[in-house]
Amino acid sequence: MMYRLIGEAAMMLHFLFLAFMAVGGFLAWRRPRLIRAHLAVAAWGVASVVTGMECPLTVVEDWGRRNAGEQGLPPTGFIDHYIEGVIYPEEHTNLARLAVAALVLISWAGYLLRRRRAATPPPVNRK
């Protein structure tokens, strides 16, 4: 039972991690301290796509499921198992990656604009 809970918890954390990667920059508009965490998460996302690194959450989920007597994740990993072909067709993987990258860049641009606006004093109205 405990191994299954570990596998399920890792899966949920993975989904939350991916959601934060996609929209965490927008959260930083209200909570500026989140921007550093979002930069790290986005960097991890880029590195994992470019290098093919296996995510530790995938390893933990697979370990938990196998030790619970369930079938583990396929060798292709979390994204291929839960997202590709389920949320979007497999042939649109690059389009989905581009959409997430666009969301991240838009959120960062908005964050920078909001920070600059907050740092600029309002104009003095002299009459």
List pLDDT tens digits, range 80-126: 899 998 999 999 999 999 999 999 999 999 999 999 988 887 777 77
- What mean pLDDT value characterizes the chain? 93
For residue 88 the two structure tokens come to: 């979007």
Question: What average pLDDT score do residues 14-36 get?
Answer: 96
- The contacts of residue 66 (CB under 8 Å, 6+ apart) are 72
**What angle is formed at CA 57 by the lines to CA 22 and CA 101, rounded to 5 degrees?**
20
